[in-house]
Amino acid sequence: MTIDSLKRLILFVVLCLAQALVLNRIHLFDYATPLLYVYFVLLFPRNYPKWALLLWCFALGLVNDTFSNTPGVACASLTLLGAIQPYYMNVFLPRDAVENFVPSLSGFGFAKFLGYASSLVLFYCLIFFALEAFNFFNWEQWLLSSGASALLTLLFIVVFENFKRNKQADVAS
């Protein structure tokens, strides 16, 4: 097992624990629940083996489903997200991006990173809440939950990324 996979595994465990123990308990205004584990999917570098990415996503979904008693919901939506992430990231890549470019706030710049993260997170939330409710009858609530949760998740992600960038700057200086 390489150092990279080990780091990824640690992030995996930390995100799952944070989600199960703390974040699943947050229901801001009855609608918004941060689904921070999506962050894990956003961080896969360019040219990462696609099969491995899919397996990671599926495993992440399975663990989170087990914690929240929603078998299949996060699994299905995270696997879908994992399938489109490599192609979607290419849209935002800077022209001079290196082969194993890692998506981050410092690498993309603020505007591009926000575009990349917000669209993927919103897409995930829409799929997740549609599968959870399993019908479009209550479409207002579906849109509200997805939008509010995506916003809250994005807030967490941007805070984390900012923190990471500042730390990098500290190390560099």
Partner 1 sequence: MKNLLEFLAKYHHWLLFVLLEVASVVLLFQYNSYQGSVWFSSANAVVGKLYEWRSDVESFFSLKKVNEELSLRNFYLERQVHELATAYGDLTKDTTALERNGLKFLQQYQLVPAKVVSNSVNRKDNLMTINKGSKDGVKVDMGVVCGSGVVGVVYLVSDNYSVVIPALNSESSRISCAIRGRGYFGYLHWTGGDASRAYVEDIPRHAQFHRGDWVVTSGYSSIFPPGVMVGQIEKVFNSPDGLSYRLQVKLATDFANLRDVFVINDESVVEQTRLLHAAQDSLKATQQ
Q: Which residues bind partner 1 (CB under 8 A)?
A: 20-21, 24, 27, 30, 33, 50-51, 54-55, 57-58, 61-62, 65-69, 71-73, 75-76, 79-80, 82-83, 131-133
- Report in angstroms the alpha-carbon separations of 18 from 7, 67, 82, 162, 168: 16, 11, 21, 19, 24
For residues 51 and 136, which CB has a smaller minimum distance to partner 1 in the complex?
51
Angle at 170 between CA 166 and CA 173, to 5 degrees: 135
Place of tokens 């509010």: 148
Minimum Å distance from CB 173 to partner 1?
40
For residues 133 and 143, which CB has a smaller minimum distance to partner 1 in the complex?
133
Minimum Å distance from CB 122 to partner 1?
20
Question: How far apart are alpha carbons 142 and 133 in whole angstroms?
Answer: 8
For residues 43 and 62, which CB has a smaller minimum distance to partner 1 in the complex?
62
For residues 20 and 122, which CB has a smaller minimum distance to partner 1 in the complex?
20
Minimum Å distance from CB 61 to partner 1?
7
- Spatial CB neighbours of 126, under 8 Å, sequence gap ≥ 6: 142, 146
- Report in angstroms the alpha-carbon separations of 109 from 99, 103, 119, 158: 18, 10, 16, 12
For residues 88 and 115, which CB has a smaller minimum distance to partner 1 in the complex?
88
